[in-house]
Amino acid sequence: MACRSRTQSICAQSSTEAELIAANAAAKVTKYLHFILHESGYTQTEPTPIYEDNDSAIKIVNHSRPTDRSRYVEIRHFALQHWRLMKDIMLIHLPGVVNPADMLTKALGWVLHHRHAPYLMGHYGNPCQ
Amino acid sequence: MPTFMKLDDAFRDWYLERTGVLLDKDLVLPVLRALQGHPEAARLWEEHISAILEKVGFKNTTHEKNIYTGKFCGEKVLLVRQVDDFALGCHQESTAKSVYSEIGAKLTLHNEAEGPFEYLGLVNSFDGYDVLQTRDYIKLSAESCIRRLLKAHGWDNPSPRESSNKPKPPLHESDVANLFNLAAGPVKNTPEHKALEAEQGFGYRSVLGEILFAYVLCRPDIGYAVTTLAKFSTAPNALHYKSLKHLAIYLRQTQDWGIMCWRTEPVDSLPEVPHTPMKLDDSLPVTPPPSHLRQLITHVDVAHANELRQR
């Protein structure tokens, strides 16, 4: 597993842009893992789901066209659209409260912390059963 | 082919002291015998071992040169190399032994009876991790690293007031806003800083560094707490000290937590260590499970802060 929690290097103008940049960074790590898994003989046959809680960011990627308010976003962050067409990734909406990535972005109370941490670390038991 | 090294100041000082001759900086020194600390040792070892592993039949991945795959004794073998420590993944122990003896034979020099390469058996620690291998899962944890930290600061025993079996969250939710709002503490190298450190009884940066190590190893659950507390490491105030200690106590209460990798098929030759799955809170919606077992999943989230200091 790979995880990262850090300040974005650029100043996003909106939460949609911020999510787009974060999803872009996550997709890059995903692609890197794809290469390593492929070369080790565990090729990913389906696009990797990227769970996002920002609907507009997902729409920008899935509809492959900018909206009026996203035209200023750097073009490199739109690489996601290309990667989606290449079937490397797909963006899926997941409400914030169940997104385990919450654990690395905000201080959670015990209930949510105790939900996300075991999920990410595989403490919920064997998924094969 | 002889190797040469540039003369560094340490060598020139040593030579001057020994012989009274100050060597020219442009001279080079032929290396007769490579010792540890030889400036070229890392590169030469890398070349040497890569050539050997390739000859034995391993192939490394393009992006991570230290992850290898190969096929031996009819089964697929994965190998991770951390400089001169090797961890090998395969089904049969006999395969591992045969691969190791092959590498060992290639590492043996002509005047040695036996190569300096030892088969250590089942991996139980690697590169700082504690590895627990059982019938149904492999657990990577940072237990010994956390215990070392707790022991060094005398926090290894719970205080009598701490009776609850439910661990505390890594950061007090109510403290988080105050972490940012209260005035910064005294800056490093001032008498006030020293006084605060003495009062608290531990160095902020050193404890943070040790906890950071656990985070990087396999404790993503403390990620937010660590990165948040790290923002104050130049001028921590008393609340930051308190929160950091709180985080260390959280680690004590959860020291056996680690990343669990579940097996698709049980390995009967390994001991069965039961793991009680944690109970899900039914009041919350369900996180979608992977569609199949080898699928990668990515989760993304962004916290947006209008307050500059909180970014």
Any residues with CB less than 8 A from the CB of B145 and at least 6 apart, and which?
B128, B210, B213, B214, B217
- What are the pLDDT tens digits along chain B (311 aa)? 677 888 888 888 889 999 999 988 888 888 787 666 777 778 888 999 999 999 999 999 999 999 999 999 999 999 999 988 999 999 888 999 999 999 999 998 887 888 788 899 899 999 889 999 999 999 999 999 999 999 999 998 887 777 666 777 888 877 888 888 888 888 888 899 899 999 999 999 999 999 999 999 999 999 999 999 998 998 999 999 999 999 999 999 888 899 998 888 888 889 998 887 777 666 777 777 777 777 888 999 888 776 666 65
Q: Which residues of B touch A48 (CB under 8 A)?
A: 295-298
- Which among B125, B129, B123, B58 is positioned nearest to B93, based on CA atoms? B123
Quick check: ipTM above 0.90? no
DSSP A47: P
A42/B contact by beta carbon, under 8 A: yes
B228 CB within 8 Å of a chain A CB: yes
pLDDT of residue A118: 84
CA-nearest residue to A104 within chain B is B224
Cross-chain Cβ contact B61/A40 below 8 Å: yes
> Given this model, what pLDDT does residue B306 score?
64
Q: Rounded distance, CA B49 to CA B54, Å? A: 8
Of the partner residues B62, B168, B288, the one whose CB lies closest to the CB of residue A39: B62
Closest CA to B252 of B280, B296, B210: B210
pLDDT of residue A15: 86
pTM: 0.82
Please give the mean pLDDT across all residues of chain A: 86
Token pair 């911020």 is found at: A18
Indicate the angle between helix axes B223-230 and B173-181, nearest 10 degrees: 20
CB-based contact (8 Å) between A53 and chain B? Answer: yes
- Please name which of B256, B284, B251 lies closest in space to residue B168, comparing C-alpha atoms: B251
Output the pLDDT for position B159. 77
CA B222 – CA B168 distance, rounded (Å): 12
Q: Sort out which chain A residues have CB atoms less than 8 A from B258's CB and list them.
A: 121
A6-50 residue pLDDT tens: 888 888 888 888 999 999 999 999 999 999 999 998 898 889 999
- Which pLDDT score, from 0 to 100, does residue A111 have? 80
Give residue-wise pLDDT tens across range A72-111: 888 888 999 999 999 999 999 988 888 888 888 888 887 8
Work out how many CB contacts closer than 8 A connect A with B.
181
**C-alpha distance from A41 to closest chain B C-alpha (Å):** 8
Distances (CA, A) of A68 to A21, A51, A54, A71, A72: 18, 24, 17, 6, 9
Q: What per-residue confidence (pLDDT) applies to A24?
A: 93
